[in-house]
């Protein structure tokens, strides 16, 4: 009986891992390459079910990127979601589609599966750093050498721009 349950569970997990868009699935090497392109990188890891994430995508992040020095700063959006249509719709509405990637994780779009994926991504890229504490969204600042400059950026435009300038 245990083996039957385990087989069904594994089948379910792996059936939910269809690639979204191979070019936009972010891995450690691609992430390091992207971060190395600018002096400072704002990293925003989000999900489609998070109302705060949606609000930041709609208001705060586009305005923040408009007002920051584009020669110094860049933004990388990482969606912890497998719902390509919804992610693309929200990102396109924000005008930030050139900075949008997907996090690869096992299982369906559920908090536990997404949390494990985020934790694995963070620990692979930032060993020893306590950036992800289990909350969504994850918003932080790194330099081109992958040194964390600020672990928890505020999500409101006014607080974030004050901190970054």
pTM assigned to the model: 0.85
Residue 94's SS3 state is: helix
For 63-80, b/e burial (b = at least 16 CB within 10 A) is ebbeebeeeebbbbbbbb
pLDDT value of residue 15:
45
pLDDT band at 17 (very low <50, low <70, confident <90, very high): very low
- Is the pLDDT at 8 greater than 70, yes or no? no
Q: How far is Cα of residue 46 from the mean position of the Cα atoms in its chain?
A: 5
- The string of pLDDT tens digits covering residues 102-124 is 998 888 778 789 999 999 999 99
Note the pLDDT tens digit of each residue in 129-147.
Answer: 989 888 899 999 999 999 9
Query: What end-to-end distance do the CA atoms of the chain give, in Å?
Result: 60
Sole residue written with tokens 């992207």: 34
The tokens 């408009």 sit on which residue?
Answer: 66
pLDDT tens digit string along 41-93? 999 999 999 999 999 999 999 999 999 999 999 999 999 999 999 999 999 99
Examine the pLDDT at 159 and tell me if it is beyond 90: yes
Instruction: Look at residue 14 and tell me whether its pLDDT is greater than 90.
Output: no
Cis peptide before 137 (omega within 30 of 0): yes
Domains and CATH numbers, the chain: 2-164 (3.40.30.10)
Q: Give the contacts of 11 (CB within 8 A, at least 6 positions apart).
A: none
């Amino acid at each position: 009986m245990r083996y039957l349950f385990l087989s069904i569970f594994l089948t379910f997990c792996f059936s939910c891992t269809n690639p979204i868009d191979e070019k936009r699935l972010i891995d450690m090497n691609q992430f390091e390459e992207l971060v190395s392109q600018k002096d400072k990188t704002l990293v925003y890891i989000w999900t489609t079910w998070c109302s705060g994430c949606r609000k930041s995508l709609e208001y705060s992040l586009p305005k923040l990127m408009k007002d920051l020095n584009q020669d110094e700063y860049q933004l990388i959006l990482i969606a912890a979601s497998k719902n390509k249509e919804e992610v693309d719709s929200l990102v396109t509405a924000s005008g930030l589609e050139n900075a949008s990637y997907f996090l690869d994780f096992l299982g369906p779009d559920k908090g536990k599966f997404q949390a494990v994926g985020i934790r694995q991504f963070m620990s692979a890229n930032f060993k020893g750093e306590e950036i992800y504490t289990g909350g969504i969204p994850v918003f932080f600042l790194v330099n081109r050498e992958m040194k964390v400059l600020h672990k928890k950026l505020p999500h409101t435009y006014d607080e974030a721009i004050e901190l970054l300038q």
